[in-house]
Chain A
Amino acid sequence: DSGVTQTPKHLITATGQRVTLRCSPRSGDLSVYWYQQSLDQGLQFLIQYYNGEERAKGNILERFSAQQFPDLHSELNLSSLELGDSALYFCASSGGGGAQTQYFGPGTRLLVL
């Protein structure tokens, strides 16, 4: 158990819908990262938050947004969903002070029908 929690574990929805994925980092970790794992794109970095502020952005679509709250949990919002958004979405956390080991949550498996 990494100490990072993600909810829900599975999500099935329809095209055009909006969903919210939630992540709670390990106790004491200030950085939260979101990654997408899909069959065609592999593991891709989406976005990083550090202590409530956006720190880095990767290959995140404009339809996707994220935020980190004062209690340090984070949410990834996916809107206008398309079939191609079906993937495993991971949250990871680290202490945040420079490059540190990232510990991954169990992931949320999203299926868009």
Chain B
Amino acid sequence: AQTVTQSQPEMSVQEAETVTLSCTYDTSESNYYLFWYKQPPSRQMILVIRQEAYKQQNATENRFSVNFQKAAKSFSLKISDSQLGDTAMYFCAFQLSNFGNEKLTFGTGTRLTIIP
């Protein structure tokens, strides 16, 4: 079974600074996908970024980028120029690429607070 670990329950950073959220995972599979989802106070789950394991290039989406280290099974999220609207719970998630086994396995989340 796959597991996802987020070892930082809470983090805070000043507005406009850069912050990195950590995520490690455990799997014996070689083909999979990794995601970061954001859950603001509204509780909506919002996709932040997606990484395919077969791609060596790290995914980026505007101010959000990942550092994907496949051998180390590490998948961290970097938020640059942080904004107040980035305040949220952030969940790392793992998904196998197998047909019929597409469920997401989530970490326990990191609560990020952006301080004005």
Contacts and interface: CB of A to CB of B under 8 A. Distances in A.
Interface of A: 2, 31, 33, 35, 42-43, 45, 48, 55-56, 58, 88, 90, 92, 94, 98-104, 106-107, 109
Contact of B102 (A98, A106, A109): A98
A107 B43 contact: yes
Contacts, number: 59
Contacts of B105: 45
A39 B50 CA distance: 25
Interface of B: 32-33, 35, 37, 42-47, 50, 91, 95-106, 108-109
27 contacts: A2-B46, A33-B103, A43-B91, A48-B102, A55-B100, A56-B100, A56-B101, A56-B102, A58-B103, A90-B45, A92-B45, A92-B104, A98-B97, A98-B99, A98-B102, A99-B33, A99-B97, A99-B98, A100-B102, A101-B50, A102-B102, A103-B47, A104-B44, A106-B42, A106-B43, A107-B43, A107-B45
